[in-house]
Amino acid sequence: MLYIIGLGLGDEKDITLRGLEAVKKCEKVYMEAYTSLLSFGLSTDGLSTLENLYGKPITFADREMVEEKADDILSSARTSDVAFLVVGDPFGATTHTDLVVRAKELGIDFKVVHNASVMNAVGICGLQLYRYGETVSIPFFTDTWRPDSFYEKIKRNRELGLHTLCLLDIRVKEPSWESLSRGRKKYEPPRYMTINTAIEQLLEIEERRGESAYNEDTRCVGFARLGSEDQMIVTGTMKQLLAVDFGAPLHCLVIVGKTHPLEEEMLDVYKLEGGSPHQKDDGSV
């Protein structure tokens, strides 16, 4: 059996009881390590924390392993129970859908254990989930590549009065162009896009396109480390959020569409006051 298990968003304790029971009976446990990360990142200490709680040795599965060596994972599942751990929910990334399709084609049984993901956890800001339009992903710009294909989706959402969730780029174990040209892979240091960088890129695209999909006065919600104990949520204009230090990754951004009074009341909980995020009694933001 192949178990595809969601870990939630915070730390090792966010796994469900059903997921933990499945992990404990598996002979091999892999953890997907490139579409997202838990609060401790990809450190050795973080891996030990997982292994101590789950009672199993865990193998980090990077992009190359999952996309190029998935057959090795699946072949093990023919004769034993194998767990594939995913931060968030198993189907938050298309790669994991592909793994299920390949398992089905090979006649391998699979079970999925769901968990919280960024797609529903953003509801904490008060914007109602059924009023979101199409989600977009914003990649890092380079000197020669400055894509804007997601601009049309944001514009369409805004025209319909819908909110837009922007997932920000994660670059983990990415080979450099220089190393690829030389035929030997050398990996760049991990990079995680900040809300500030995302807004800078979005405003650059708007200036270039000039179709008024949004501007520096457009209201947004910035999320950092969503689901963790030290999560940070701030609402303000694009211009205001540019000046906020959101701290460590992971970050995501919501571009606010048309709101109704109840949504406005919740957004007020997280608005900037005097240029700083509003602090609540428990110290969270």
Residue 44: pLDDT over 80: no
At 156, list the tokens. 């369409």
Residue spans of beta strands (DSSP E) within 1-153: 2-6, 28-32, 59-61, 82-86, 110-113, 136-138
* Residue 131 and residue 250 in one domain: yes
Q: Does residue 114 have a known ligand-binding role?
A: no
* Residue 53 and residue 90 in one domain: yes
The pLDDT value given to residue 279: 44
Which pTM does this prediction carry?
A: 0.88
pLDDT grade for 281, boundaries at 50, 70 and 90:
very low
Q: Does residue 176 have a known ligand-binding role?
A: no
Range of the domain at 182: 119-269
Q: CA-to-CA distance for 40 and 46, rounded, in angstroms?
A: 5
- pLDDT tens digits along 130-167: 999 999 999 999 989 999 999 999 999 999 999 999 99
Cβ neighbours, 10 Å, residue 137: 14
The pLDDT value given to residue 277: 61
The pLDDT value given to residue 66: 75
- pLDDT tens digits along 227-243: 999 999 999 999 999 99
Mean pLDDT calculated for residue range 39-48 = 61
The pLDDT value given to residue 25: 94
The pLDDT value given to residue 24: 94
pLDDT grade for 282, boundaries at 50, 70 and 90:
very low
The pLDDT value given to residue 216: 97
Q: Does residue 181 have a known ligand-binding role?
A: no
* Residue 102 and residue 194 in one domain: no
* Residue 174 and residue 68 in one domain: no
Q: Does residue 168 have a known ligand-binding role?
A: yes
Residue 277 resides in a domain? no
Residue spans of beta strands (DSSP E) within the chain: 2-6, 28-32, 59-61, 82-86, 110-113, 136-138, 164-168, 170-171, 191-192, 219-224, 232-237, 251-255, 272-273, 276-277
The pLDDT value given to residue 280: 45
Residue 139, domain CATH = 3.30.950.10
The percent of residues above 90 in pLDDT, for the chain, comes to: 66
Q: Does residue 55 have a known ligand-binding role?
A: no
Q: Does residue 253 have a known ligand-binding role?
A: no
Mean pLDDT calculated for residue range 105-119 = 94
Q: In this structure, are residues 252 and 163 in contact, taking their beta carbons and an 8 Å threshold?
A: no
Residue 42: pLDDT over 70: no
Q: How far is CA 141 from the centre of its chain?
A: 18
Q: Does residue 251 have a known ligand-binding role?
A: yes
* Residue 108 and residue 193 in one domain: no
Residue 174: pLDDT over 70: no
Q: Does residue 9 have a known ligand-binding role?
A: yes
* Residue 59 and residue 33 in one domain: yes
Using the structure block, give the residue that is written with the tokens 């997921």.
Answer: 19
Residue 45: pLDDT over 80: no
Name the domain count of the chain. Answer: 2
* Residue 39 and residue 77 in one domain: yes
* Residue 96 and residue 38 in one domain: yes
Residue 106, domain CATH = 3.40.1010.10
Q: Report the chain's mean pLDDT, rounded to a whole number.
A: 88
